[in-house]
Amino acid sequence: MNIDTIRTATDFVKIRFKEAQPDTAIIFGSGLKDAGSIFEELSAMNYSEIPGLGEASVAG
């Protein structure tokens, strides 16, 4: 991964959530996605949607 990939990914997320003013972001890893059900989900994005990051390599 290089700085251009990071910038592209960052810009994509900023544009996708341009109206957001988050206090907290939670990233759930493999096996923890169901833990999110205790929170009110306002926005979500799959890792694979972010340019340059590809698919997650672990199921879960």
The predicted-structure confidence for 4-47, as pLDDT tens digits, reads as follows: 999 999 999 999 988 888 787 777 777 776 777 788 877 888 88
> Which class for 29: exposed (0-12), middle (13-18), buried (19 or more C-beta within 10 A)?
exposed
**How confident is the model at residue 60, as a pLDDT?**
57
End-to-end CA distance of the chain: 24
Which range marks the domain in which residue 42 is found? 3-49
Residue 59 lies in a domain: no
pTM for this predicted structure = 0.65
The total of structural domains in the chain comes to 1
Q: How far apart are CA 14 and CA 1, in angstroms?
A: 19
Residue 57 lies in a domain: no
